[in-house]
Amino acid sequence: MSFEAFKSRFMELTSDPVAIGYIAHDADNARVVYVNSAFSEELGYAAHDVVGKSVDAYHDSETWHDFISAVRPHFAAGDPSFTADAVLIRADGSRLWASASFVVVEEQESQGRYVCATFRDISAFKEAEAVAEKARALLAAAINAFPDPFAIYDKDHALLVWNPAYARSMTDAPDDLKPGIGLKALLLEAARSGRVPEAIGREEEWVEEYYTPDVLAPGVEDFEFRGDRHFRMVRSRTEKGENVVLRLDVSEVVRHRRAAEEYARQLEAANRAIMEKALRDDLTGLGNRRLLTQKLEEFVERKSGSDGEIAVLQIDLDRFKQINDTMGHAAGDHVLVETAKRILDLVEIDDVVSRIGGDEFIALLYVSAGSRRPERLAKSLIASLSRPAHFEGKECRFGASVGLARTPLSDPDELLVNSDLALYKAKRQGRGRLGIFDRADFEEARQNKTLADEIMRGLENAEFLPFYQPQVDAQTGEIVGLEALARWAHPDRGIVSPSGFLRIATDLNVAADIDRMIFERAICECSQFFRSHLAPPSLSFNVSAKRVVESDFDAIRRSVEAYPGQVCFELLETIFLEEESDAFLFHLDRLREFGIGLEIDDFGSGRASVVALQRIGPDRLKIDRRLVAPVSTSSKSHRLLRSIVDIGLALDIEIVAEGVETREQAEILAQLGCNRLQGFLFAAPMALSGVFELFSSSEGLVEARPTR
Ligand code: C2E
Ligand code: CA
Ligand code: CA
């Protein structure tokens, strides 16, 4: 075929760059004889730039030798066509990766060859290949450097890829590992080399068990390896079905976690110990009040989910104080410890026993509804604790009283108060008794509670007001004094006497508030009333010990100044016996400085000594009406009254007799030398309007009817 014909057939048909070279039979290199227009366009060489030159003019010099080595054998073999990759250089110096297809045609006349090269641009492919190759290299480096075992198996479980850590984890000869080795064989190898603790001694058997069809199923699993190492095995599958196995060494994590768990356990134990100690009574080892409160709460919780009931036994030792006082504290402690033992002997395992005060114990029981166990236990406790204890060869005789309260009669949060009430009831009946909080107590408690609410409301609404009971001169019958007595103007029940509210008010700690209200009101109305009167009577007030200690002295001084006559405070004889503190005496002195007289009320009911009387230095003694009542019938009380009057005379203290109901009593008392008389014979307590009538109607009260 002639060259011209060859050229016209092929050259311009293709859009790929084409170059034709001619190699003379004795030459090494081809000379360009033709390039098509696609060649000029792609590479930027005009035909005349390259035609006549060697083909290496547009080949990359760096890769030229590789190229030549690739094509030379084909020439040598006389191949008519072949392909080879080539890197071409464009006119602007840039490179073009090309796949070159060669067609070789012999030229008979000159014995040379025409070589037609068609170039296809494969730069994109080559670049991607280069990136992939680089990534592969990096990945391989990373996998190899990775400290944890990593491997890939094909879908038939033959080893494809692994890193040194993996090899080391499976065999003693990691370098001998070859691709294609089966997982089962490798597992056996690992087992035989002692790497699988659970397989030791039964390696083959273990492999048979372990090597199931889904041994490489994707998933995560933790396991122990060689005793001290812990691994997390992560398995996944590639798209082609290869199995990727990654074993992460989590020994450190596990060790830290275990250490943390151990630490938490120790902390908890220490906490428990501290809590335990904080809930215990040191002496007896029983619970303390805190434990009691806590357990009671737990019981209440438990009760809400079942039909059980809670019972509280309050145990109080009889004669404990005597043992302590006469035999010493060690003996007292011994009795307490012994008591704790005896209680523990009788209770059941779930009962809670606490010591809540010196010689007070509480047993908390959870029982089925209607159970009689609390009563039985109370009785056994009383019996058991009536036996004497022995301390250093001496006998300590004691005993116990028990108060019992239980749900549902008592509310859970009132159990302790009510068992205390029951205990009080038991003690009132004598020693070694059981008191049970019953329906009557419940009613009383309920009424007390209502009353307490009403008292508080009454205080807010200023429902407490003074009544007055006149005191007369024993000789002349003239009104010389008034005792202010508290009354409660109850909105429904009318006028209520102190017996109807004073005890509860004292329990509520508001007796002093009532005292204050009575005091202020009485001073206010009496100072207006008596301002015009010639001889205002003395005005006495009953005050509680609290009132003395908590007085607002400025207010008292101002009030006292407003009243034209003498103001006196009556204090119960028992107050003087109980309140001996310096503060109390100091406060009394201040009151005296304001000109307030002091009277000892209900004198003779307590056991105030002459010494105490001298120390207090009262202005008056009021003889208790229980001593006055029998004066006309009993010579003994007559003598007693005479000696009281004598003491008064000796110490320069006035004597008032109260509760005078008959003319006979009045005469005897006057004869004995009492200074003042007070009682229904003369007048009952009344509102100020009544006092007003008395003052305006007559000169004295000697004719007054005894009224109530
Ligand atoms: P008290 O101080 O011994 O008051 C005398 C009580 O005897 C008054 O009872 C009075 O009504 C009553 N009484 C008067 N004459 C006779 C009589 O001839 N025969 C009998 N059987 N009783 C007579 P009242 O008003 O019910 O007060 C009872 C107690 O309440 C008082 O006893 C006093 O201890 C206390 N009290 C009264 N008012 C107050 C107060 O404002 N503050 C305080 N802290 N206690 C008060
Ligand atoms: Ca009084
Ligand atoms: Ca009295």
- pLDDT one-digit tens code per residue, 430-441: 889 999 999 998
Q: Note the pLDDT tens digit of each residue in 338-347.
A: 999 999 999 9
d(Cα 340, Cα 345) in Å, to the nearest integer?
A: 9
Give every strand in the sheet of 434-436, ordered side by side: 352-357, 360-368, 308-318, 399-406, 434-436
Place 705 in a pLDDT band, splitting at 50, 70 and 90. Answer: very low
Q: What pTM did the predictor assign?
A: 0.56
- The tokens for 70 are 């690739």
The bound ligand whose nearest atom lies closest to the alpha carbon of 521 is: 1
d(Cα 194, Cα 198) in Å, to the nearest integer?
A: 9
Place of tokens 């209770």: 347
The bound ligand whose nearest atom lies closest to the alpha carbon of 602 is: 3
pLDDT for residue 703 is more than 60? no
Place 255 in a pLDDT band, splitting at 50, 70 and 90. Answer: confident
Q: Note the pLDDT tens digit of each residue in 148-167.
A: 899 999 999 999 999 999 99
Q: C-alpha distances in angstroms, 48 versus 36, 440, 467?
A: 11, 132, 142
Q: Which residues line ligand 1 (CB under 6 A)?
A: 469, 485-486, 497-499, 502, 511, 515, 518, 542-544, 601-602, 625, 658-661, 679-680, 685
Amino acid at 223: F
Q: Note the pLDDT tens digit of each residue in 665-701.
A: 999 999 999 999 999 999 999 999 999 888 877 554 5
Q: Note the pLDDT tens digit of each residue in 481-510.
A: 999 999 999 999 999 999 999 999 998 999
The bound ligand whose nearest atom lies closest to the alpha carbon of 659 is: 1
d(Cα 159, Cα 177) in Å, to the nearest integer?
A: 9
More confident residue, 703 or 583: 583
165 Cα to the center of ligand 3, angstroms: 102
Place 109 in a pLDDT band, splitting at 50, 70 and 90. Answer: confident
625 Cα to the center of ligand 1, angstroms: 10
pLDDT for residue 611 is more than 80? no
457 Cα to the center of ligand 2, angstroms: 25
Nearest-CA residue for atom 3 of ligand 1 = 602
Q: Note the pLDDT tens digit of each residue in 75-104.
A: 888 899 999 999 999 999 999 999 999 999
User: Which residues contact residue 646 at a Cβ distance below 8 angstroms, ignoring those fewer than 6 apart?
Assistant: none
Q: Note the pLDDT tens digit of each residue in 47-79.
A: 899 999 999 899 999 999 999 999 989 988 889
- Ligand 1 mutation target, pool 482, 658, 686, most atoms within 8 A of CB: 658
Mean pLDDT, the chain, integer: 89
- The tokens for 455 are 């008292």
402 Cα to the center of ligand 2, angstroms: 37
Nearest-CA residue for atom 34 of ligand 1 = 542
Q: Tell me, what's the pLDDT at 305?
A: 82
449 Cα to the center of ligand 3, angstroms: 28
pLDDT for residue 605 is more than 80? no
Place of tokens 């890769």: 63
Q: Tell me, what's the pLDDT at 474?
A: 95
- Ligand 1 mutation target, pool 469, 515, 542, 575, most atoms within 8 A of CB: 542
Q: C-alpha distances in angstroms, 616 versus 180, 561, 597?
A: 114, 23, 12
Coil, helix or strand at residue 196: coil
The bound ligand whose nearest atom lies closest to the alpha carbon of 678 is: 1
DSSP collapsed to 3 states, 562-610:
HCCCCEEEEEEHHHHHHCCCHHHHHHHHHHHHCCCEEEEEEECCCCCCH
Give me the half-sphere count of Cα atoms (radius 13 Å) on the Cβ side of residue 217. 7
Q: What kind and span of H or E run contains 633?
A: none
Place 707 in a pLDDT band, splitting at 50, 70 and 90. Answer: very low
pLDDT more than 90, % of the chain: 60
Q: Tell me, what's the pLDDT at 338?
A: 95
Q: Tell me, what's the pLDDT at 194?
A: 87
d(Cα 150, Cα 163) in Å, to the nearest integer?
A: 6
Sign of the CA dihedral 145, 148, 149, 154? negative
Q: Note the pLDDT tens digit of each residue in 374-408.
A: 999 999 999 999 999 999 988 989 999 999 999 99
The mean pLDDT of 335-361, rounded to a whole number, is 94
Q: Tell me, what's the pLDDT at 706?
A: 38
Nearest-CA residue for atom 27 of ligand 1 = 498
Query: For residue 231, what are the β-bridge partners?
Result: 223, 249
542 Cα to the center of ligand 2, angstroms: 5
Q: Tell me, what's the pLDDT at 704?
A: 40
Atom of ligand 1 nearest to the CA of 572: 34
Q: Which of 165, 86, 79, 73 is nearest to 118 (CA)?
A: 86
More confident residue, 704 or 613: 613
pLDDT for residue 580 is more than 80? no
Q: Tell me, what's the pLDDT at 312?
A: 97
Nearest-CA residue for atom 37 of ligand 1 = 485
584 Cα to the center of ligand 1, angstroms: 24
Q: Tell me, what's the pLDDT at 7?
A: 64
Nearest-CA residue for atom 15 of ligand 1 = 679
Place 639 in a pLDDT band, splitting at 50, 70 and 90. Answer: very high
Asked if 568 and 656 count as a contact pair (C-beta separation under 8 A), the reply is no
Q: Which of 565, 584, 566 is nearest to 575 (CA)?
A: 584
Q: Which of 652, 647, 654 is nearest to 678 (CA)?
A: 654
Q: Tell me, what's the pLDDT at 702?
A: 46
Nearest-CA residue for atom 46 of ligand 1 = 542
Q: C-alpha distances in angstroms, 326 versus 284, 321, 339, 395, 400?
A: 21, 8, 19, 12, 19
Give me the half-sphere count of Cα atoms (radius 13 Å) on the Cβ side of residue 552. 10
Sign of the CA dihedral 493, 498, 500, 503? positive
Sign of the CA dihedral 166, 170, 173, 179? negative
Q: What is the DSSP string of 147-177?
A: SS-EEEE-TTSBEEEE-HHHHHHH-S-GGG-
* Lowest mean pLDDT across 165-179, 237-251, 636-650: 237-251
Asked if 309 and 407 count as a contact pair (C-beta separation under 8 A), the reply is yes
Sign of the CA dihedral 457, 462, 463, 467? positive
555 Cα to the center of ligand 2, angstroms: 22
**Burial (CB count <10 Å: 0-12, 13-18, 19+), residue 606:** middle
Nearest-CA residue for atom 17 of ligand 1 = 659
* Lowest mean pLDDT across 41-45, 107-111, 182-186, 643-647: 107-111
Q: Which of 616, 590, 594, 589 is nearest to 603 (CA)?
A: 616
The bound ligand whose nearest atom lies closest to the alpha carbon of 496 is: 1
- Ligand 1 mutation target, pool 485, 603, 605, 656, most atoms within 8 A of CB: 485
657 Cα to the center of ligand 3, angstroms: 9
696 Cα to the center of ligand 3, angstroms: 27
Asked if 279 and 348 count as a contact pair (C-beta separation under 8 A), the reply is no
Q: Is the peptide bond before 408 cis (omega within 30 degrees of 0)?
A: yes
Coil, helix or strand at residue 81: strand
Place of tokens 């227009």: 37
Place 258 in a pLDDT band, splitting at 50, 70 and 90. Answer: confident
